[in-house]
Structure 1
Amino acid sequence: MFAIAVEQQQYKTYILSDQLAQARLTVVPERGGIVTGWQLRGQEMLYLDRDRFANPELSIRGGVPILFPICGNLPDNRYSYSGQTYMLKQHGFARDLPWQVIDRITHDRVGITLALESNAQTRSVYPFDFELQISYFLQGNALEIHHSIANRSLEPMPFSIGLHPYFLVHNKSSLQFDIPASQYQNQIEQTIHDFSGQFDFEQDEIDVAFRSLSRFDASATDLDRRLRLKVEFDPAFSTLVFWTVKGKDYYCLEPWTAPRNSLNTGDRLLWLDPGASLELPVRVIATFL
């Protein structure tokens, strides 16, 4: 049985459930269209800093924030386009703006579709007209996230898009990784390192980007929780970021379509022709061991 309940908490909250799969998804459209929780068989898959979530002045650390129209940050938060300089903060504005619910599905599976359209506020920092839709579906032990980007401008539109899932972990030393790359770039020091399959969690922060992927999925196995989470993504997601902070119960495996500063460098930047649209799926699969 599939159902969608709506609760008025601090924000209007949509709770999707699949009773047969014992799955539950919590979505808050007006707080950046974010997924705040995903439970399977009574276990939570995601981390959420509830204090930051409750404060609209702070970016959320937790759930699955949406990154658009950039992933990462720009030098001094600036980029140039057609001779003009614009200010755009880290990860763009999609994760901060209210989204609209435009569809709900409760037959065959349970899902919800949200939309974000350009407006005067977005055009002041990103001079393009667009419509971005995100659909979330529960499919057994999987969370499917479908992106649909449409260019409503009269000129080609450059952008990157990504997801920033915060996966819950209590003991990082119990994690084992399968990441399809042999090198990464340290995004703090801008240095290249070989990757042997493990991270040094004694560091205060790990922020690395894998940019030469041999396939388009990655997984982390939590031996303590006997849980494997696998992220599958469209080939347009050319960069996979791993990020975590010492002492915090999360790790992030983030598919990005382009690396940091791509609006300035053009590196792997996506372009949409006027009137064109693009569909980009991501799937997160949980396996209990």
Structure 2
Amino acid sequence: MYNISFTPDRPLTYHLEDDQSLARLSLVPGRGGLVTEWTVQGQPILYFDRERFQDPSLSVRGGIPILFPICGNLPQDQFNHAGKSYRLKQHGFARDLPWEVIGQQTQDNARLDLRLSHNDATLEAFPFAFELVFSYQLQGHSLRIEQRIANLGDQRMPFSLGFHPYFFCREKLGITLAIPANDYLDQKTGDCHGYDGQLNLTSPELDLAFTQISQPRAHFIDPDRNLKIEVSFSELYQTLVLWTVAGKDYLCLEPWSGPRNALNSGEQLAWVEPYSSRSAWVNFQVSTE
């Protein structure tokens, strides 16, 4: 049986539940449509820094932030378009703005639909009229997020889109990764390296972009909790980013539509034609090993 409820405490939080699978998902539409909690049979799947979340002046650390219209950052935070320069801070503005709940259902799954549209502030940073509609679907041990990116204007709209899931893990030393790539870019140094499946996840910080992936999925296995977490995605997503920091109980495996600075460089840049839309999806699957 599927249920959707909400707690009116500030901030307003929606809870999606699958009673049969003992799965629960919590979202805060007013804070960037942020997923703050996902548990499966009592196990936390996501890391979440709630103390940091209580201070709106700080960026969120945890859950599943949305990245739009850029992933990563731009040189000097500048986006250049049609002879003009615009300022976009790291990961864009979608994760900071309030999203509107536009639908829900509990028949085949627990589903909550959210919408974000352009406004005067977004047009100053990103000169395009747009509408995003995201559908969060909890069923069993999977979370599927379907997306529609609509261009409401008369000029072709470039964009990058991504998710930044913070997966909870305590012991990184024994984790095994399966990323379908032969090399990666170290985003801290700018150096490229070959990839043979071996990484030191206990390094002070890893910030790696796999921009040439051969399959639309990746996973890692956490032997500490006997969990396998798989990330799969539609063809829009062409880059995977791995980020983790020593001493923090998270591992981020992030599907991005393109690499950093794609809005300026054009590398793997996505577009939506005037008065049309594109659709995409990302799926997170949890299983026991």
Deviation at 1:152?
Answer: 0.3
1:128-182 deviations in whole A, cap 9, x for unaligned? 0000011110121100011110000110000010000000000001210110011
* Counterpart-to-counterpart distance in 2, 1:12 and 1:215: 38
**Matched residues, percent identical?**
47
Deviation at 1:212?
Answer: 1.0
* Counterpart-to-counterpart distance in 2, 1:107 and 1:203: 45
* Counterpart-to-counterpart distance in 2, 1:190 and 1:279: 32
* Counterpart-to-counterpart distance in 1, 2:171 and 2:224: 7
* Counterpart-to-counterpart distance in 2, 1:198 and 1:250: 18
Match of 2:66 in 1: 66
* Counterpart-to-counterpart distance in 2, 1:9 and 1:165: 24
**In the alignment, does 2:267 pair up with 1:284?**
no
Query: Cα RMSD between the aligned structures?
Result: 0.8
User: Is 2:173–2:202's contact at 8 Å kept on the other side of the alignment?
Assistant: no
Deviation at 1:89?
Answer: 0.2
Count of matched residue pairs? 289
Correspondences of 1:239-258 after superposition (within 5 Å): 239-258=239-258
* Counterpart-to-counterpart distance in 2, 1:106 and 1:166: 26
Correspondences of 1:125-136 after superposition (within 5 Å): 125-136=125-136
Deviation at 1:271?
Answer: 1.0
Deviation at 1:63?
Answer: 0.3
> Under a length normalisation based on structure 2, what TM-score does the superposition of the two structures give?
0.99
User: Is 2:172–2:202's contact at 8 Å kept on the other side of the alignment?
Assistant: no
- Unaligned ranges ≥5, structure 2: none
Match of 2:19 in 1: 19
Distance change (3 Å), C-alpha of 1:40 and 1:287: same
* Counterpart-to-counterpart distance in 2, 1:21 and 1:270: 36
* Counterpart-to-counterpart distance in 1, 2:113 and 2:198: 36
* Counterpart-to-counterpart distance in 2, 1:146 and 1:71: 18
Match of 1:138 in 2: 138
User: Is 1:10–1:54's contact at 8 Å kept on the other side of the alignment?
Assistant: no
Q: Where in structure 1 do 4 or more consecutive aligned residues deviate above 2 Å?
A: none
Deviation at 1:9?
Answer: 2.4
Match of 2:78 in 1: 78
* Counterpart-to-counterpart distance in 2, 1:274 and 1:187: 33
Structure 1 residue identity aligned to 2:38: W
Match of 1:30 in 2: 30
1:16-61 deviations in whole A, cap 9, x for unaligned? 1010111100000001001011111111100001111111111101
Distance change (3 Å), C-alpha of 1:287 and 1:126: same
**SS in structure 2 at match of 1:174:** coil
Match of 2:182 in 1: 182
> Under a length normalisation based on structure 1, what TM-score does the superposition of the two structures give?
0.99
Match of 1:232 in 2: 232
